[in-house]
Amino acid sequence: MVDIYSLLKGKSTSCGCTMCRPKGGKVKSGQQYGYWTVLKADVQKRKSLCRCVCGIEKMVGNQSLTSGHSKSCGCRRAEAQTTAQLRGKQKGQRIMDCIHSHGLTAAYIDRKTNKNSGTGITGVSRFKNGAYRAYITVGRKQIHLGSYAKLDDAITARKGAEEKYFRPLEEKVKKIKREELK
């Protein structure tokens, strides 16, 4: 429903369908947008049949072509990355795969505190009665370390548990990294 005032003053000139048309002109056959060449433009469906420089033909939205969001079928992404970047990613991925194959993760000690933490300390929560609870999660299992009247006692218990449970795992991860980087 359109307001009569908008029609009389010329503020509303259509039902709104012109807003869906591509900005930046009409797409025509033979035009090039990035690596795409338009073979057949379909203004009604707002899509065009395009051929990439690698030979792949695909229907691409006219809006994507004119705005520059679609420049190729994806075959040119590798051009943006240097071989050094690719080698670095492969090495990092190889190290992470090796760590995961041993059932480990890369970060154990000094984990980031959860934003919902009431105490601001990882592995320490507060009961409604004011006591503090220390716990640690190892291998997806939570281990209760005890209840304490003072926050400092709960923090000490948590740090001790990190040394007991996480230090050996951290050493294994460091060893794997050293071996893989050779």
Residue 43 has pLDDT above 90, yes or no: no
Domain end residue (candidates: 35, 60, 77): 77
Is there a single domain that holds both residue 51 and residue 124?
A: no
Proportion of the chain in helix, strand, coil states, percent, rounded to 5: 40, 20, 40
**CA–CA distance, 134 with 119 (Å, rounded to integer):** 11
**What integer best gives the mean pLDDT of the chain?**
80
Is there a single domain that holds both residue 34 and residue 99?
A: no
Q: Is residue 3 part of a domain?
A: no
**CA–CA distance, 124 with 145 (Å, rounded to integer):** 10
Return the pLDDT at 85: 59
Nearby residues of 155 by Cβ (< 8 Å), 6 or more positions away: 121, 124, 134
Lowest mean pLDDT among 82-86, 94-98, 126-130, 161-165: 82-86
- Look up the domain containing 32 and give its range: 19-77
Is there a single domain that holds both residue 136 and residue 88?
A: yes
* Residue type, position 126, single letter: R
Is there a single domain that holds both residue 24 and residue 65?
A: yes
Residue 80 has pLDDT above 70, yes or no: no
Is there a single domain that holds both residue 101 and residue 155?
A: yes
User: 159 φ, ψ to 5°?
Assistant: -60, -40
Count of domains observed in the chain:
2
pTM of the model: 0.46
Is there a single domain that holds both residue 107 and residue 169?
A: yes
Is there a single domain that holds both residue 34 and residue 73?
A: yes
Is there a single domain that holds both residue 59 and residue 142?
A: no
**Residues 47-65 pLDDT 10s:** 899 999 888 899 999 888 8
Residue 157 has pLDDT above 90, yes or no: yes
Give the whole-number percent of the chain exceeding pLDDT 70. 76
Q: Is residue 12 part of a domain?
A: no
